[in-house]
Amino acid sequence: MTAPDAVILERALPAAIERVWTYLTDPRYLSAWLAGGTIDLRAGGRVELDFAHFKCPGRGIVQGTMSGVITELEPPHLLTYSWRESAGTGPGGPESLVTFRLRAIDDRQTHLTLTHRLIRRQELPGIAAGWHVHLAVLADRFTEREPAHFMSRWATLEPEYRKLHEWFCSAKEQPPV
């Protein structure tokens, strides 16, 4: 976390940049690590995700949808889209932005930077934990490991992100241990 309204996570993924790009943009692969849905892969194209169609142990109890519009697109290096979630009732939450930046490390590894910004402060720890687990599932898919139970991982990480976020927002000198 580098801002009170943003999650920034970086990962070295064990896959070529083209393969990572495919998992970010092809609906056939999105459901393996994030959510089922559709992406109209062009600037201004719609993104529709349904978390009921996510193939990971322990994710079945979480429901909701996300809709957005692609605002930046530079295949296979940059994808940004707006993000408005709904839990199935009401108009949904405020709009935020998700950016995926990819850089090839070599022909078998890719550096991914995920930035989710314009997040309501009270939601940031849960969102950070969620992205952390989703990116772990993505890495598991590249190594053909079975992902761990999603909600168990999330429940372990969310309190840690909450402590980190509280520290960041209070501007103390030393991060929590």
Q: How confident is the model at residue 52 (pLDDT cuts 50, 70, 90)?
A: confident
pLDDT category of residue 165 using cuts at 50, 70 and 90: confident
Task: Give me the pLDDT at residue 93, please.
Answer: 66
Indicate whether 167 pLDDT > 50.
yes
* pLDDT above 90 for 56: no
What's at 59, amino acid-wise? R
Instruction: Tell me the pLDDT tens digit for each residue of 108-158.
Output: 999 999 999 999 888 899 999 999 999 999 999 999 999 988 889 889 999
Rounded Cα gap, residues 163 and 53, in angstroms: 31
**Cβ neighbours for 115, distance < 8 A, ≥ 6 positions apart:** 6, 7, 8, 97, 98, 99, 101
pLDDT digits (tens, 9 = 90+) for 66-79: 999 999 999 999 99
Phi-psi region of 8 (alpha: psi -120 to 50; beta: other; left: phi over 0): beta
pLDDT tops 90 at residue 89: no
Report the percentage of the chain scoring pLDDT > 70.
Answer: 89
DSSP state of 90: S
Cβ-based neighbour number of residue 98 at 10 Å: 22
Pick the CATH number of 6-170 from 3.30.1540.20, 2.40.110.10, 3.40.50.300, 3.30.530.20: 3.30.530.20
C-beta of residue 117 within 8 angstroms of C-beta of residue 97: yes
pTM, whole model, 2 decimals?
0.89
Peptide bond into 14 cis (omega under 30): no
Do residues 49 and 21 make contact, with C-beta atoms less than 8 angstroms apart?
no
Output the six-digit token pair for 22: 């495919």
Q: How far apart are CA 114 and CA 158, in angstroms?
A: 18
The yes-or-no verdict on residue 62 having pLDDT over 70 is: no
